Amino acid sequence: MKRRVVITGLGAVTPIGIGIGPSWQALCAGVSGITRVTRFDTSNLRAGIAGEVKGFNPEDFIDHKLARRTDRYQHFALAAARMALEDARFEIPPSEADRVGVIVGTATGGLQSMLSAQAEFSNGSSDEISPFFILQYLTNIGAGQVALLAGARGPNFAPTSACASGTHSVGDGFKLIQHGACDMVLAGGADAGIIPIMLHGLGLMKACSQRTDMPEKASRPFELNRDGFVTGEGAAILVLEELDHALRRGAGTYAEIVGYAATGDAYHITSPSPQGEGAGRCIRLALEDAGVSPADVDYVNAHGTSTRLNDVAETRAIKAVFGKHASRLAVSSNKSMIGHLWGASGAVEAAFTALTLKHGVVPPTINYETPDPECDLDYVPNRARRMQVRIAISNSFGFGGTNGVLVFRRFEA
- Three-class secondary structure of residue 289 per DSSP: helix
Q: What are 157's strand-pairing partners?
A: 103
Which pLDDT score is estimated for 341?
Answer: 98
234-242 vs 35-36, strand pairing mode: unpaired
| Residues 157, 16 share a domain | yes
| Residues 159, 87 share a domain | yes
Q: Name the domain boundary from 199, 220, 248.
A: 248
138 assigned to some structural domain: yes
| Residues 202, 74 share a domain | yes
Residue type at position 240: L
Which pLDDT score is estimated for 27?
Answer: 98
The per-residue DSSP string of 33-75 comes to --EE--SS--TTSS--EEB---S--GGGTS-HHHHHHS-HHHH
| Residues 285, 237 share a domain | no
| Residues 164, 92 share a domain | yes
Enumerate residues 6+ apart whose C-beta is below 8 A from 183. Answer: 96, 99, 100, 177, 241, 242, 245
Cβ distance 207 to 230 under 8 Å?
Answer: no
CATH number of the domain encompassing residue 157: 3.40.47.10
253 assigned to some structural domain: no
Overall domain count for the chain? 2
89 assigned to some structural domain: yes
**Backbone angles phi and psi of 299, in degrees to 5:** -145, 140
| Residues 211, 322 share a domain | no
Burial 356-382 (b: 16+ CB within 10 A, else e): bbbeebbbbbbbbeeebeebebbbbbe
Distance (Å, rounded) from C-alpha 241 to C-alpha 257? 10
254 assigned to some structural domain: no
Please list the active-site residues: 163, 303, 340
| Residues 99, 174 share a domain | yes
Entry pTM? 0.97
| Residues 286, 234 share a domain | no
Q: Name the domain boundary from 248, 267, 291.
A: 248
286 assigned to some structural domain: yes
341 assigned to some structural domain: yes
| Residues 175, 49 share a domain | yes
383 assigned to some structural domain: yes
| Residues 344, 225 share a domain | no
| Residues 18, 97 share a domain | yes
Boundaries of domain holding 353: 259-409
Cβ distance 98 to 34 under 8 Å?
Answer: no
199 assigned to some structural domain: yes
| Residues 143, 12 share a domain | yes
Kindly give the confidence (pLDDT) of every residue in the chain, 413 residues in length, as a single tens digit, with 9 standing for 90 and above.
799 999 999 999 999 999 999 999 999 999 999 999 999 999 888 789 999 999 999 999 999 999 999 999 999 999 999 999 999 999 999 999 999 999 999 999 999 999 999 988 998 888 888 899 999 999 999 999 999 999 999 999 999 999 999 999 999 999 999 999 999 999 999 999 999 999 999 989 888 999 989 999 999 999 999 999 999 999 999 999 999 999 999 999 999 999 999 999 999 999 999 999 999 999 999 999 999 999 999 999 999 999 999 999 999 999 999 999 999 999 999 999 999 999 999 999 999 999 999 999 999 999 999 999 999 999 999 999 999 999 999 999 999 999 999 999 999 87
Q: Name the domain boundary from 203, 222, 248.
A: 248
Cβ distance 300 to 331 under 8 Å?
Answer: yes
Nearest to 11 by CA among 23, 22, 20: 20
Which pLDDT score is estimated for 126?
Answer: 80
